Amino acid sequence: MYWVTDAKALPEYRLWLRFSDGAEGEIDLKTFIEENSRPIVAALRDRAAFAAICVESDTVVWSNGFDLAPEFLRERVQPRVAA
């Protein structure tokens, strides 16, 4: 089981995440945010609302109360590639 230990909102509906197993990287949520019709998700299309995140318990939580399971996020994280 994984949990999110640190998170930062990035431009274009991306997040940088660090997990309890030491993995870290970015996840692109643009398609998820743009195509999900649930009002709680659609509200995150506002860039300021998307950026209003914190880490609570074991995952990322937005200020409107929406969260995603840490397992969902961990499966989709793309490690940073060294330049």
pLDDT in tens, 5-55: 999 999 999 999 999 999 999 999 999 999 999 999 999 999 999 999 999
User: Tell me, what DSSP letter sits at residue 67?
Assistant: B
| pTM attached to this predicted model | 0.88
Q: In the predicted model, is pLDDT for residue 82 greater than 70?
A: no
| Amino acid of residue 49 | A
H or E stretch including 8?
A: strand 4-10
What was the pLDDT predicted at 43?
Answer: 98
What was the pLDDT predicted at 38?
Answer: 97
Q: Does residue 7 sit in helix, strand or coil? A: strand
Question: Which domains are assigned to the chain?
Answer: 4-79 (3.30.2020.10)
